[in-house]
Structure 1
Amino acid sequence: MHQPTWMNAELELLRDAARRFYDTELVPHEPRWCAQQHVDREVWFKAGAAGLLCPGIAEAYGGGGGNFLHEAVIFAEQSRAIAGGLGNSLHSGIVAHYIENFASEEQKRRWLPKMATGELVGALAMTEPGTGSDLQSIRTRAMRDGDHYVVDGAKTYITNGSSADLICLVAKTDPSQGARGVSILVVEAAQVTGLRRGQPLHKIGMHSQDTCELFFDGMRVPCENLLGAEEGQGFRQLMKELARERLITALMSLACMERAIEETLRFTAGRRVFGQPLLELQNTRFKLAECETQAHLAGAFVDDCAQRLLTGTLSPATAAMAKWWVTDACGKVVDECLQLHGGAGYMTDYPIARLYQNVRVHRILAGTNEIMKELIARDMEKRAA
């Protein structure tokens, strides 16, 4: 298994603590949570008490005071555990950073400590029916009326949607201005009317993760809940944070690749074909060698991107490269590993089948891989100009 170049004793302790938490508090409950399509609310409080929420947020706001590497080991271990129901990579890795980076001091002190304890669960509402990855074409509107915005529209595929207490909502505050008319409002769900949550969406995988549609019918949000000093900053805020989101998706895919290889090594060593272990057949050995190489290449790329993120030098184009290449490689590796399981690989009793279900969405999350290639090509065009 790939060992990150940045791993140290402190991060190893955090990784081991996260692994024990997931093995105890998540994995045993996954079948029940898959059936109900969301985790129990109390597990958020347990994760907060264990120090797994907001590890990269400053201690002054109730966070762990760490950095992206602390988040990376926590999110990777959860992916490796195949226990994706707790939407923490979004809550801690994305939503909390929108607030820490762009909110006012008063907003940070009001929201972040409660996110760190699990009292507030965060969600990010970007995607809409019919718009997908095209954020400039969103139709949800937030029109100013006195000291409130009146919001009308809908969002879909919202992780943590049913349980979210704090929703970073992307909306048009000035539809005539295109991207310059996009703003982010922070919706405190318990304090608004006009917010309606749809039924849980039935997905191919990630069955235990809370995913739903959100509807806004004249929802009134205080103007003071605007994220940023003025309207029209939303698209810039999104572009700044999407690189982080794309890298998180890549590192989760890497963890799933590694788990798939580990499972397949164990299975093929114990499965006998034609009187010998499946692992001794040349085809098995060559396929696993290819998978291991893909995982090491992905690991080196993710390591480099993580270091760049820490120093503020991770470009949107490089994050897009990591996101599409690693998630694509993950899909191929998991598929090869499932094939080596034979019929067992199609049975959800086996971890490889659940990995196969879950990783397919990685090529869609945080912007589809096709959009990633378009972003990379646009960056290349600038060099040619």
Structure 2
Amino acid sequence: MKKTVTSLLGVVLIAAACSKDSSLDQAEYSDNPLFYFSGSVNGLPINIQAGKDGYAMYTNYYLKDSVLHMESLLAIDTPSYREAFKIDIHGGETSGTIVNASYSTSLINGPIALADASGFPRRPHVYDYIFTSDSLNGDIPLQWTTPNGSHYGDSCNYLEVNALSQQSFKVEMQSAGPLSCTPLVAHTILTQGDCKGEIHILKSTNSVLIAEARSRVGLIKSIQWSVNDQNVGTGLTLSYDVLGFSPGYRLKAKIVFESGCIETIEKVILAGSPQCDINLNYQKLPHRDYNPHNLGTVSVTYFDANGKEYNSHYAYNTGHFSIEAIANYNESMSSSTPVTNNHKRYSFSGDLVLKSSDGSSVQLDNIFGIFAVQHPD
């Protein structure tokens, strides 16, 4: 494993071979790379840097089960690592030999899936939505409409929604049986948000409408009510004189949550009993692909102050990881040694839950850093 240490003077010490015990030579970099890790572990801040307090950056690559692994380790050189971090980037394709292994399919800017022991890593920023009816009175046939079409049934799935390319979408659930007081309900959902609301019709006559907004997920900050696109009130409860509106008018509630998430809910209103009010509910699940070799993924490991190891490579793991930027740099071992160019440095960010073999876990929040990575030429 190759060792790289940055000092305050910008001098980098590099081992002559992939072993922590190798003798060291000196070289200078004009761009003065700095390798560090910052963030919090279970709410406690942590900031470590190569070249300070005995920390160094170690890099290594190898082939395992025909998959290229490129490891970056920020640690103190001791028999057992303590308060150390390791990032293992997995190659994006299988290879028979290390010579033919390609790093370019995995070392890329953007979000990277976490390697998952189940063989089903989640695809970053992609979700599956499962919609179901809620508070139905009797067996009422339902018609669902999403951006990918419409169908009849008790539930509806909208799969592989990419939150980066599709910031919001609309789903409608409509009564296909006898008309009720709300024959249609629609939700406009922000895919990057984690909030969920609903509106209930408390009274619906030819002259008066009373409705109430409630939260399922998140704290409500404000609500703007409208009837047929006319603003009619704010607050959790709406009481409004609907004389002059023909039955079948559209009630809309724009619900803003404390987190900044926004959900817009619409209902078509007819005169009737609140018992015929219909609502929908949904689950937002991370989309997972079958990838038994965990190609193009990443594993993150943390060693605590006692040397206990926690990592992200467990079944159906939680969190996200992203490479923010990649830069080239060359290693000039000495004036008599040729310059090598099989290293890069990269910045990263993420939030993860790591687990140990005994099932205990640690929470990494707002992590950020710059690591070196070694790859085949």
What is the TM-score of this pair, normalised by structure 2?
0.24
Larger relative contact order (Cα-Cα within 8 Å, sequence gap ≥ 6)? 2
What is the TM-score of this pair, normalised by structure 1?
0.24
- Structure with greater proportional strand content: 2
